Chains A and B, each alone.
Chain A
Amino acid sequence: MTDAGVFPDAPNQEPVRPKPDSMPRVALVGPPNCGKTALFNALTGSRQKVANYAGVTVERKEGAATAPNGERLLIADLPGTYSLRARSPDEEVTRDVVLGRLTDAHPPDVVVCVVDATNLRLGLRLAQELKAVGRPLVVALNMHDIAMRQGIDIDIARLSVELGAPIVPTVAVRRGGLDALLTEVARLATRAPAASTWHVPNVTELRAEHKEADRIFKAAVTPPKRPDTWTGKLDGVLLHPVAGSAILLLVLFLMFQAVFTWATPAMELIDGGFSALAEGIKAVLGDGLLSSLLADGVVAGVGSILVFLPQILTLFLFIILLEDFGYMARAAFLMDKLMGGAGLHGRAFIPLLSSFACAIPGVMAARVIDSKRDRLATIMVAPLMTCSARIPVYTLVIAAFVPRTSVWGMNLQGLVMFSLYAAGVVSALLVAFVMRRLIWRGGSEPFLMELPAYKRPDAKNVILNLWLRAKVFLTRAGTIILSMMVLIWFLSTFPAPPPGAPGPAIDYSLAGIIGHWMEPVLLPIGFNWQIGVALVPGMAAREVAVGALGTVYAVAGDDVGTLGNVLASHWSLATALSLLAWYVFAPQCASTLAVVKRETNSWRWPVIMFVYMITLAYLASFLTYTVARHFGG
């Protein structure tokens, strides 16, 4: 039987505006990485991030779906948990929603226990716990197609009898089984909940629960006649301490090579487009304030950031493919010893990986860590991981100062980019090591991780995730960055120089005055006043510094081609390297500091973070500049 035969059609899932008070509430609960968010997206038409590793969802998300009978349902996607005995903050969210302990939310009318059909044993105990809670329960047997392909035979009728709940096979990524699931949910939504018999189990009860789950598993599931050896063989290589680490390094290395080779044609196209647009504006409007604002402020500023979109998307294409394939959890396994040596909990891998996109989701993802001191240590180093906002700064400076040559067959620019990412990771480990010795002494708790099954990356999910990344970048460029570029243009243009002023006009502007005022502090690290001007708006978002440099040099009339060419003609190599070193550590992202305050519920930690990062940034820049000057840079 084909999958299409099992799941004939998916319901019409247009996103519906939730009406919280009138709709039955449905909670999606299940172990991590069983496809809850994929199911939530399929049911509600939402576009929440999904990936093939545990701990992606750390917050409650809500959306609406329509059952085949027309009834509208309010669906909540909850963080994954193996049990209602919550240990970390994300698991507490799930426990509190299911048990109706939240004051700001009604308890669910129906609980959907989502279980991975290829790893059913793990979900059975949770399903038993949910049954004990007393709320109407439906079990979604997700990834049923993969289980069938693997030859796992699940007796659904028997399982339903054993669990005392309806079982619906689903394939969330292909919207399979959604109609049947929603029909069951709508049917149960009118039932009154039974009295809860759930309580925190003691050791004896826990053992009994495990035994019961084992009994149900054996009664309802027949394992494949020919067990999968492919996963074991692949893991034997990818998790090997030497071969696995070498492959991890090779994968990361290839990723950064691709960032500089694949993205170049698209970048040149975008750059050419913005240059032509600026020239067009000046040709149509002539010389004047409005022309300068649009060409030198908006186009030069925003354009100099947008040009990096192809590189950001290339990098994320690799990350998303590796996540979907199931490799990222293996990378966590390989890194565990190293992270443990630095005093970081193994689960810190998830927030640190998220921080490659942006430190904000990274800091929030630290909720997956049980212990408070482990969580704080992770939060404090998460911003050291190279976020996508640093990519424009890195690639601009690398393209301008590092020759496009090959060294032993490797692209030198890609090699430098790889080194900067490595510097971010190494510095995060070092800082964590020092913090664990100075502030949070004591060992970390042991790390147990479930390795997800290898999966062929789903093209739709890859495209959707890439689009989400592009949307975030374009939205920032079109809102905050655009408005800041207008302000930087204003600061760089006004006041006008006095009549007969000998220097360039920008020297007399507010930006020039502020920049010259900062110069004495920045001179020891090799920064000129233009960099100083760029660092201030970079507090809002790191990539704004690139746009600010574009605007400042455009207003100054430095028209020698691309921004990279302008920088190459104004800066020494030592200055360029110093700026790169600065951005490895620079704490310039106000939003990250705000999220750290929210997550730690104290101003103490964002202040400590800001101080230690700016100190490290200054010291690293000073050292880099001094050494580079010594060698004639």
Chain B
Amino acid sequence: MGSSSHASTGTLDKSRFANPFFTREGWLYFAILAVLILVVFPLTLDAFRLNNVGKYLTYAFVALGLVLCWGHSGILSLGQGIFFGLGGYCMAMFLKLEASSPENTAIQSTPGIPDFMDWNQITELPWFWAPFHSFGFTLIAIVAVPMILAFVIGFAMFTRRVGGVYFAIITQAIAAILTILIIGQQGYTGGVNGITDLRTLLGWNIRTSEAQFILYFVCAGLLLASLLLCRAVHVSKLGRLVIAIRDKEDRVRFSGYDVAAFKIFVFCFAAGIAAIGGALFTLQVGFMSPTFVGIVPSIEMVIFAAVGGRLSFFGAIYGTLLVNYAKSTFSETFPELWLFAMGGLFIAVVMAFPDGLAGLYHRHVRPHLAKIPGLFDRQSGRGRDVVAQPAE
């Protein structure tokens, strides 16, 4: 290793095959994103708009998971709303119990239980609600409940080699079933209205604008941390294996890997990340309802990832922000046309820019930036965050 001679075997230059966590270019993109969401947005947006951006950022968690699950591994899930929603519901259950202290609910026929239960003639807290009195349990449940469900779905599907369109349809069906279940079990779930009127987190009023401001930073920080976590998975051997599985599943299987186990892992991982987003959504918006669980939000989240570029973690975040910004501007003016615009956008992206914004950037913008000396380092051509790069 000491010398760099190219004599016989045992001389591969380690640095030529290094696999850095981020290249200098990657860190640059990370820094730009961090400055944008941690400094620029808070300085330039008013409290209402900033809270909106915070809400969009919670969707970006889902989009990050989709990049790994759909873009890299080829597992298209049209049911990520399930996991976003479950994470959100776990958080909402904790907050609701805190808001339903016996003093606050003294006027109910059964004080100490959530108001919607009282309205539905339920007189005792259901067993599965009880553990959500504990904040520690709630934090674990936010990630564990969706991941366990993802494991069950993944195990049932992937060990039977269900994939592609069939898998997408099944996830969508489960999203629909879960929505119906939540709406139908009004006494246990709050039904179609969801779990509302959430006030405090461990005694801290989350509805003040100061709390909203702090929660925005919690959300942004966790998003950046999740991005790094996704990146860590992507640069590991597992990250390359799932790409190999997407492209040549049989070759991976006959190289001695249990393909189903890897797919289950990626699906569970994406579910866990989505669930963190869901929990943060509940905190920032102050309620959770079945509207965020079903088919429409699940498909919207896929569109966010597709617009940003389903192969790029950065792209997914920018795509989410952009589509949601367009959604709120557009739907304020033409509310009934928004869904058509969204559908059109999706078709346009799939037909014309399959790699989304990230693909456009790498094809048209980056080549110009790369000419600036010293901006990207020599190794930056390896940036596999996007599509396969041409040979050096």
Answer whether A and B are interacting partners.
no
Residues of B within 8 A of A (CB): none
Residues of A within 8 A of B (CB): none
